[in-house]
Amino acid sequence: MKRIGLVVFPGFQILDLVAISVFELANSVGKAAAYDVEVLSEHGGLVPSSSGVPVETRRFGKAKFDTVIVMGWMMPQPSSPALLKFLHSASKASRRTASICTGAFVLAEAGLLDGRRATTHWAFARNMQARFPAIKVQEDKIFIIDGPVWTSAGMTSCIDLCLAMVESDLGVDIARDVARKMVVYHRRTGGQSQFSALLDLQPKSDRIQDALAYAKKNLKKDLSVEVLAEAARLSPRQFSRAFRAETGQSPAKAVENLRVEAARMLMEEAQHPVEVIAREAGFSDPERMRRAFLRAFGQPPQAIKRAARMATAA
């Protein structure tokens, strides 16, 4: 059985403890319990979270863990010497050392991220890079695995991080079953962006949301105003007016952003030719995709693809 140590401290972000549920459900869907999870702190006992809700913990000791995961704060704070000492020792004895959200700052203070690729919540990534220049901070990733060190973005990305651990330990089928039980999509890949074109649009009505959901599922199909209006159960004129009022964009621009996002994900996750990526993302030809990438990123697809390849090899 693999022992998982979740490290907390006063003011930790309580949402990070959803990691416990991932390992708990992995135990329930597998043939036998695979994980034993303990919540650890410097002094043990009740530790208050950022919400004020306390969590019972066990004091740091000499026990060995397969995986040690450091929770994050709402805002990065200086770490105590005892915490850094524990992490130094635990990282040598553990197979994996990981952080969630701003917990990456703790690993950074401990020197465990020097020379490695790492990520954190996008709002603090540049601050982390400035404070710790020896780290290769990649602010637009859901999670990053660099050798025995795993780091994730903020908030719900802890689910993706822990599902990836379960998949690595127990296989894709168990990880998929856990995701189903948690009522989430099967885990996002680490290379996926922390940002979402759908989230940026923030549609308010169910009808516009339905049209966008249809578009995202059918990027390879014709997504004209008429088609989207039908999905929204509105006339084309009503749809165009409502869409712009709710999102601040035209339907055509929103569809382009969804296709660009899909194309970038394909580039980061697999080594497909640009022509294949363009077709899968719904662009009629590579040139249209190139122009869309220049508008979105100021760079052509080849440059994004090359950067993703270099990051993976680093």
- Is residue 117 domain-shared with residue 162, that is, in the same domain? yes
- Is residue 232 domain-shared with residue 91, that is, in the same domain? no
Residue 261 resides in a domain: yes
Residue 220 resides in a domain: yes
- Is residue 206 domain-shared with residue 168, that is, in the same domain? no
Question: For the domain that residue 99 is a member of, what is the CATH number?
Answer: 3.40.50.880
- Is residue 160 domain-shared with residue 203, that is, in the same domain? no
Question: For the domain that residue 299 is a member of, what is the CATH number?
Answer: 1.10.10.60
Q: How far apart are CA 152 and CA 311, in angstroms?
A: 16
Beta bridge partners of 58: 40
Tally of structural domains, the chain: 2
| CA 254 to each of CA 79, 198, 219, 243, 286: distance values in angstroms, whole numbers, following the listed order | 43, 9, 12, 10, 19
Bridge-based pairing of strands 35-41 and 54-59 is parallel
Residue 192 resides in a domain: no
- Is residue 261 domain-shared with residue 164, that is, in the same domain? no
Among candidate residues 138, 153, 181, the one where a domain is terminated: 181
- Is residue 255 domain-shared with residue 169, that is, in the same domain? no
Residue 191 resides in a domain: no
Q: DSSP labels for 170-226?
A: H-HHHHHHHHHHTTS-S---TTS-S--HHHHH---SHHHHHHHHHHHHTTTS---HH
Residue 189 resides in a domain: no
Among candidate residues 181, 213, 243, the one where a domain is terminated: 181
Q: Among candidates 258, 277, 263, which has minimal Cα distance to 217?
A: 258
Among candidate residues 130, 148, 181, the one where a domain is terminated: 181
The 3-state DSSP class for residue 51 equals coil
- Is residue 136 domain-shared with residue 204, that is, in the same domain? no
Q: How far apart are CA 108 and CA 201, in angstroms?
A: 34
- Is residue 92 domain-shared with residue 241, that is, in the same domain? no
Q: How far apart are CA 222 and CA 265, in angstroms?
A: 21
- Is residue 98 domain-shared with residue 143, that is, in the same domain? yes
pLDDT tens track, the chain, 314 positions: 999 999 999 999 999 998 899 999 999 987 889 999 999 999 999 999 999 999 999 999 877 999 999 999 988 889 999 999 999 999 999 999 999 999 999 999 999 999 999 999 988 988 999 999 999 998 778 889 999 999 998 888 889 899 999 999 999 889 889 988 887 755 555 444 555 555 566 777 889 989 988 998 999 999 999 999 999 999 999 999 999 998 888 999 999 989 988 888 788 776 788 899 999 999 988 999 999 988 887 778 887 777 666 555 55
- Is residue 237 domain-shared with residue 152, that is, in the same domain? no
Q: Which domain holds residue 251?
A: 197-313
- Is residue 142 domain-shared with residue 202, that is, in the same domain? no
Q: Among candidates 76, 185, 179, which has minimal Cα distance to 121?
A: 76
Q: DSSP labels for 129-160?
A: HHH-TTSEE-TT-SEEEETTEEEE-STTHHHH
Cβ neighbours of residue 68 closer than 8 Å, sequence gap 6 or more:
4, 5, 7, 87, 90, 91, 94, 96, 97, 98
- Is residue 160 domain-shared with residue 204, that is, in the same domain? no
Residue 25 resides in a domain: yes
